[in-house]
Structure 1
Amino acid sequence: MATIGDDVVVSNRKLERMFSMKGGKGEASYANNSQAQARHALSMLHLLKETLDGVRLSSPEFPFTVADLGCSSGSNTIYMVDVIIKHMSKRYEAEGFETPEFSAFFSDLPSNDFNTLFQLLPSYGGDSMEECLASDSHRSYFAAGVPGSFYKRLFPAKSIDVFYSAFSLHWLSQVPDVVLDKKSTAYNEGRIFIHGANEITANTYKKQFQADLGGFLRSRSKEIRSGGSMFLVCLGRTGTDPADQGGAGLLFGTHFQDAWDDLVQEGLIASEKRDSFNIPVYAPSLEDFKEVVEADGSFVVNKLEVVSGGSPLVVSHPDDAAEIGRALANSCRSVSGVLVDAHIGDQLSDELFSRVASRATSQAKELLEQLQFSHIVASLSLP
C-alpha cells in the first residue's frame, strides 16, 4: 500500500487512475520541460523513418492509422505524429498509390492533461487530403484521444498501422507491493528509487518491467494490422546490474533522494512516509528488453539497440549554476510531481523540489558532465 497525503491510502494498482506527467503550462509542467525529449527524438528520426519505410501501404479505402502511446501533454507528440504521417504520405505518392485519409490516436492514462494537448493541436485544414498535407499550419489527419494503460488493450483488433511510443515504457504499471512491505526482503528501506538498492529489490523491479512489457506486446499484437510496425523508445542502461540505473539513477537517486532525506532529518516527514514512496521507473538493459520480446514471440525484431540520448537538462546558460539547479528540479517535478504532490501534499512538495534545486545548484558542473541518458530503441513488426 502507498500513502497519499496524511489520511488517505491508495493501492499501487490505482496508479493508472492518478498518474500523469505534470499538466498545464506552468514552469514545472511537462509541456515546458520536455525540450530534452524533443532533442532525443529528433536524433532518432532516421531510425524512425527506417521503420516507416518497412510499413506496408494499405488500401486507400481505409484510413492509415497512427497511435502514439504515452503521448503526454506537450507538443512533442504532435510533431512526431506529423512527421510519421507526412513520411507515409510521401511514400504513397512515390509508389504511385492514391493517398488515403490519415487518423491519429493520442493515448495516455486517464489523468493525462488531454485539454492542454488538444489546445496545441492545429485545426484540420483543407477540403481534400492533398490540401491538408500541403499545409504547414493545419493538421492533415483526424485526431482522437484514447485514455487507458498501454499495458492493456486500447484499440480494436487489426486497426493500427503504426505504433509510436517514446520515453514512456520505462514507467511501470505499479510499484511492486513487496518493495513497500517492511516484512519483505525486497523492502526498499531508506530509498525512493531502486538505484543502489539490494539485488532482490532491483530484480523485483526488473520482473515488474518485464511483466508489463509482455502485456504491452500481447496487446499490440492483436491491435496492429498485418504489415504494420512499432517504433519504441524508452530509458535504458548499458550495464548489466539492474541496481545501477545509469542516467535514471542520477536523476532520481542522487539529489532527488537527498532532498527526501532532508525532509526526514528536518522532521517535516517521518522516515516511514519517505519509505512508502517509490518512483515506478525501470531503465532496462538491452538483454532485459530482448528477453521479453523473444519470450512473447508476437513480433520480429527489425532493430534493437542502445543509443546515447544526451542530457535531460536543457539550459540557456551552462555557466549559471542556479539555472541548472532549477532545470533539474523542474525536470524531476514535470515527470514525478503528480505522485509527489499526492503523497506529501503541495506544500511539502514545494519544499522538496526547492531542496532538489538547491542541491543541484551546488553540483551544477558535475551534473552537466555526468547526467547522460541512454535509450533502448526497438523497431518491431509482425512475423
Structure 2
Amino acid sequence: MELVQCLHMNKGEGETSYAKNSTVQREIILHETSIMKEAISDCMRNTSPKTMGIADLGCSSGPNSLMVISEIISTIYSTTNYYNNYSSVVPEEVVIGLNDLPCNDFNDLFMHLPEFYNKLEKYKGIINGLDGCFVSGVAGSFYGRLFPKKSLHFVHSSSSLHWLSRVPETEKLDEEDLNKGKIYISKTSPDCVVKAYLSQFHKDFLTFLGSRAVEIVSGGGMVLSFMGRITPDAAAEVGSHQWELLAQALVSMASEGLIEEEKIDSFNAPYYAPSVEEVRNVIEEEGSFIIKHLQPFEIGWDEGSSSSSSSSSSSSSTNITTRGQHVAYTIRAVVESMLESHFGTSLIMDDLFYRYAQLIDNYFFNTRPIYIIFLISLTRK
C-alpha cells in the first residue's frame, strides 16, 4: 500500500477531524520549544541569511501547523536580536514551505492563513526587520526531494516520521497467516516481520536524511519529533500496544461476521517505532548531519485533553466522555483513511472505534498508557 495514495488526516473541522483531535500532537510540539530555540539560535549564527528558507514537513491541517510556523518566526527574530553580537544580518524575508502528501487538506490549512498574516502584522513592532513572509504549500512525500538545492536554513517535522513510505514488503509478509489477527508487530510476529519493518524504516529514514542534506545549507538546522521506543524489542508494549488493541477491535467484528477475517490478516500498518540505536545508526550512516540532541520523552495517550485528569471528565467534543473515547477519536483522525482504503465500506467506523474506546478504557484501568517520543536536533555539516 502506497501511503501517498491513502494516508491523510481526517479533513475539515467535524467531530472526527484531525483539527478537533490533535491535542497529543500539540503537546509534542510544545515539548520541542527549548530545543527548537537552541537549534534556531545555532542556525542564525551559522548561516546569517537575508532570505531564510523554512520547511514544515508533514504539516497536516488544523491549528498545529501554523502554530509551529508562528513560533519559528518569533524565535528567529528574538534570537537575532539577542545574538546581535554574533550576527549583524537580520533576515529580511522568510520563505516557508508547508509540506504534506497531495491528499492532505491544504484547503483547510490555507483558510487559516489570513488570520496568520494578521497576527504577523500586529507583531511587526516586535519582529523588527521582517519585510516579508511568504507561505506556500508543497505537496509530495518527504521521502524524496521537495526543495531546490541549498534553499533551506531550518526544517521542522513533528509526529510524521514514524509513518513509513509504504507497507514493508517481503514474500513472506504477504502470506495472510504470517501475522494472523495482527496489524503491526506483536509478540506472536515471526522475526521476518520485524526485519521487514526495520528494513523499510532504515531505507525511508536514510532517504529522508539524504534528501534534506541536499536541500539544507551548511550550518542549517533540523528539529524532528516522532514516535519510538526505548527497548530493543520491537514488540514492546510501549510503541505497539495501540495497534494491538485496534487489532482486537477488528477481530471482535470479524467474529460477528461484520468484516472478513482475511482482510485483517492482510493488513499491516505502514508505521514503525524505532529504537534510539536504530535512529542513531541511520543518521551516522548517512553522514551529513551532526547530532546535537537525541532524547526520548514520555507523553500520555490522552495528553492535552481535559479527560486526562479524570475518566469522567468532559472533552472539547460533546461526544467524548471517557479517556478511551478521547484516544479512539485521536487515533481515528489519523488512521481512518488507511482503514477505509483497505477494508472498504464493509467496515463501519463508528462501531469499530466504539469497541476500540472500550478496550482502551479497560487498559487505562490497569496501567498508564504512554508513547515514547524522540526529540532530535541536527545540524547540517
Q: What TM-score do you get using the length of structure 2 for normalisation?
A: 0.88
State the match for 2:371 in structure 1. Answer: 373
Change (3 A) 1:67 1:181: same
Q: How far 1:18 sits from its partner (Å)?
A: 2.2
**Secondary structure of the corresponding residue to residue 249 of structure 2:** helix
Task: Give the alignment of 1:180-329 within 5 angstroms.
Answer: 180-182=173-175, 187-196=178-187, 197-244=189-236, 246=238, 248-254=239-245, 256-317=246-307, 318-320=310-312, 322-329=321-328
Which piece of structure 1 moves more, 196-205 or 108-117? 196-205
* Structure 2: distance between partners of 1:274 and 1:281: 16
What does residue 382 of structure 1 align with?
A: 380
- Per-residue CA distance 1:357-383 (angstroms, 9 max, x = gap): 2333344433xx421111112111122
CA shift for structure 1 position 314: 4.2
1:33 is aligned to: 21
Distance 1:119 1:245 in 2: 39
Measured in 2, the distance between the counterparts of 1:292 and 1:99 equals: 33
Per the alignment, residue 45 of structure 1 pairs with 33
Kept in 2: contact 1:133–1:140 (CA 8 A): no
State the distance in 1 between where 2:98 and 2:125 align: 19
Q: Which runs of 5+ in 2 are unaligned?
A: 314-320
Identity %: 34
* SS of 2:124 mapped into structure 1: helix
* TM-fit CA distance, 1:319: 2.8
Report the Cα distance in structure 2 between the residues aligned to 1:76 and 1:130, rounded to whole angstroms.
20
State the SS of the aligned residue for 1:142. strand
Using the TM superposition, name which of 16-25 and 158-167 deviates more: 16-25
SS at 2:54's partner residue?
strand
Residue in 2 that maps onto 1:337: 336
Give the drift of 1:125: 4.4
Give, in whole Å, the separation in 1 of the partners of 2:6 and 2:184.
19
Q: Is the 8 A contact 2:36 2:223 kept in 1?
A: yes
Match of 2:73 among 85, 101, 105: 85
Q: Which amino acid aligns with 1:308?
A: E
Structure 1 consecutive aligned stretches of length 4 or more whose deviation exceeds 4 Å: 57-60, 125-130, 132-135
Q: What is the distance in 2 between the residues matched to 1:130 and 1:258?
A: 50
1:304: Cα distance to partner?
1.4
Q: 1:172 to 1:86 in 2, by over 3 A?
A: same
Partner of 1:100: 92
Q: Deviations over 1:13-38 (max 9, x none)?
A: x3212211222111121111111121
Any unmatched runs of 5+ in structure 1? 1-11
Question: What's 2:316 paired with?
Answer: none
Q: Equivalent residue for 1:118?
A: 110
Q: Which of these residues, 124, 129, 137, is aligned with residue 131 of structure 1?
A: 124
Give the superposition deviation at 1:351: 2.2
Residue 288 of structure 1 and its aligned partner are, at CA, apart by: 0.6
Indicate the RMSD between aligned Cα atoms, in angstroms: 2.6
User: How big is each residue's C-alpha offset from its partner over 1:175-228, in whole Å with a ceiling of 9 and x where there is no partner?
Assistant: 1122641189xx322211113222221121011111100000000000001221
Query: Are the structure 2 counterparts of residues 69 and 371 from structure 1 closer, same or farther at C-alpha, using a change threshold of 3 Å?
Result: same
Cα 1:324–1:157 shift into 2, 3 Å: same
Task: Measure the CA separation in 1 of the matches of 2:37 and 2:335.
Answer: 31
Contact 1:151 1:216 in 2 (8 A): yes
For 1:359, give the aligned amino acid. Answer: L
**2:6 pairs with 18, 36, 39, which one?**
18
Q: 1:371 to 1:24 in 2, by over 3 A?
A: same
Deviations 1:61-107 (A, max 9, x none): x4212100011112111111111111111222331433411121110
List per-residue Cα deviations over 1:230-289 (Å, max 9, x = no partner).
11111011111112251x3122212x1111101111111222111121211111110010
Amino acid at match of 2:184: F
Q: Which has the higher mean CA deviation after the structures are superposed, 224-233 or 300-309?
A: 300-309
Aligned pairs, how many?
362
In 2, Cα distance between equivalents of 1:356 and 1:183: 23
